Amino acid sequence: MELAKQLSTLTQSDSPVFKLSKFFVDAGFEFYVVGGSVRDVILGQDAYDIDICTNARPDQIKKVLSQCAQDVWNQGEAFGTIGARFENQEFEITTYRKEIYVSESRKPEVEFGDSLEVDLSRRDFTINAMAFSLPNAQLVDPYNGLDDLINKRLRTPLSPEISFSDDPLRMMRAARFIARFECVPDKELVDAVVEMRSRMKIVSAERIRDELCKLLVVPDPSAGLYFLSETKLSDEFLPELNAMSLEQDPIHTHKDVLVHTIAVVANTRPELRVRLAALLHDIAKPATRAIGEHGVSFHHHEVVGAKMARKRMRELAFSKEMIRDVSQLVFLHLRIHTYAMGWTDSAVRRYVRDAGDLLDDLNHLQRCDCTTRNPKRAQQLQDRMDSLEERIVELGKKEELKKIRPHLDGAQVMEYLKLKPGPQVGKALDFLLEHRLENGPIEESQAFELLDTWAKENL
């Protein structure tokens, strides 16, 4: 690893961070690039968010920035952080500090300090406890984070008990770092997570949600998900994960649902909506598992799973839109198997209508849901998906599949049948929509003839 070359991106005299450092040093303060910014630069990655630490107090930081920054914001001032835009780049400048979560509190107690080393000691992991001073360009690494980064080792600067007591969310963050950086956690770290996992109860649902989302969108989150499972940390916020590790018996065997689920997550694109759907698509298999004369079955697990997904996502404070979309993907993830005998025009219309804006994600999820090691079965599923997508394109050239509506609108139905708004109008529209799905588009005159037929039987 060419450390000097990598860090040189921070020492270029024309770089915004280097220029900003001189304003602080000229004012008599220390200036260090810290944390993930240093880690990412060492790894040769772009550091989009550059975090700065200094011995200046928030008021002093604002005074320095008033001389050079285009914009300054102080939403994080209570925690010692001032944000600024300098030469079209955003920075967060934070006073040396330590923060500790008291036993039953969800908010940290912040104490400002004068020691960089103490500040670094309170950070989550050693690979984030490095600092790089500017403008004199010196790496400060009191906890051997560079060595851990090179050797892919995950440790905490102080004991993991202290680190996780300071902020229990760091136990979840460990899972993300294990997955993202292919790190191996120290035994002491793993033991501490197992022992302290119940402390997650003081962490807000929003913070847990955000950390879970960050894990899910790393290129391959598998190792992190296994870490959550094996330490039982996931039991504190997503107990359905370990519930999918169903016991096998010598006679009625089936694939390991947990292993399958994690494999499906890894198969999908690193996009949050489809990754969440992959994580939850078989969430109801434990609840629906049954053993009959033909072996093990999970009947209607997609229906039960959609309900379970909605409940869990609400508890984790996901947005209504994300809950709606993910639960719908869970509900539809078996739809491809419904049409094993082929795709009629009617089946294609119903599939596209039900998927709506989720069509691409649904197709992708169903392809990724195939984790069988049987090449023949795997090819059969891919061929089925290919056939479906070809039929969608083919039929889409003839009619607007993504805008399937009843042949007439509500106003036309009410005017023609002399009806007032009410249930009968809805039933008439349902009839016309069902005909549209089954038979395709027709002329407006034909639609009114259909409406006459319906009215004779229902009005």
Check residue 100 and give its pLDDT: 59
Spatial separation of the C-alpha atoms in residues 434 and 444, rounded to whole Å: 16
Secondary structure of 161-194 in the HEC alphabet?
Answer: HHHHHHCCHHHHHHHHHHHHCCCEECHHHHHHHH
C-alpha to C-alpha distance for 285 and 246, rounded to whole angstroms:
9
The alpha-carbon radius of gyration of the chain (Å, integer) is 29
For residues 252 and 13, the model is more confident at 13
Q: What distance in Å separates the CA atoms of residue 264 and residue 255, rounded to the nearest whole number?
A: 13
In which residue are the tokens 């040093």 written? 25
CB–CB of 113/98 below 8 Å? Answer: yes
Least confident range from 40-54, 151-165, 345-359: namely 40-54
Residue bearing tokens 């998900």:
225
pLDDT in tens, 57-96: 999 999 999 999 999 999 989 889 999 999 999 999 999 9
Across the chain, mean pLDDT equals 89
The confidence score (pLDDT) of residue 274 equals 98
CA distances from 402 to 337, 351, 352, 353, 363 (A): 22, 10, 7, 7, 15
The pLDDT, as a whole number, for residue 24 is 97
The residue with greater pLDDT, 421 or 287, is 421
Please give the share of the chain, as a percent, with pLDDT higher than 70. 92
Residue 33's Cβ-count burial label (10 Å; 0-12, 13-18, 19+) is buried
The pLDDT score that the predictor gives to residue 289 is 80
- CA distance linking residue 369 with residue 212, whole number of Å: 21
Q: Which of 112-126, 130-144, 433-447 is predicted least confidently?
A: 433-447
pLDDT of 367 = 94
Q: In this predicted model, what pLDDT tens digit does every residue of 435-452 receive, in sequence order? A: 888 888 888 888 888 888
Torsion of CA 83, 88, 89, 94, to 10 degrees: -20
Question: What integer is the mean pLDDT of 310-329?
Answer: 98
pLDDT in tens, 196-254: 999 999 999 999 999 999 999 999 999 999 999 999 999 999 999 999 986 444 444 44
411 Cβ contact partners less than 8 Å away, ≥ 6 residues apart: none
Cβ(50)–Cβ(85) below 8 Å: no
Least confident of 177-181, 265-269, 331-335, 392-396: 392-396
Calculate mean pLDDT across residues 262-285.
96
How many CA atoms lie within 13 Å of 169's alpha carbon, on the beta-carbon side? 20
Taking residues 363-371, report their average pLDDT: 93
- Identify the sign of the CA torsion 284, 285, 289, 293: positive
In three-state secondary structure terms, 285 is helix
Give the model's pLDDT for residue 261: 95
How far is 121 from 73, CA to CA, in rounded Å? 27
Q: Is the pLDDT of residue 102 over 70?
A: no
Comparing 177 with 403, which gets the higher pLDDT? 177
Q: Coil, strand or helix: which one is 265?
A: helix
- 382: pLDDT strictly greater than 50: yes
pLDDT digits (tens, 9 = 90+) for 147-188: 999 999 999 999 999 999 989 999 999 999 999 999 999 999
Percentage above 90 pLDDT, the chain: 59
Tokens read off for 119: 């500040």
pLDDT of residue 1: 53
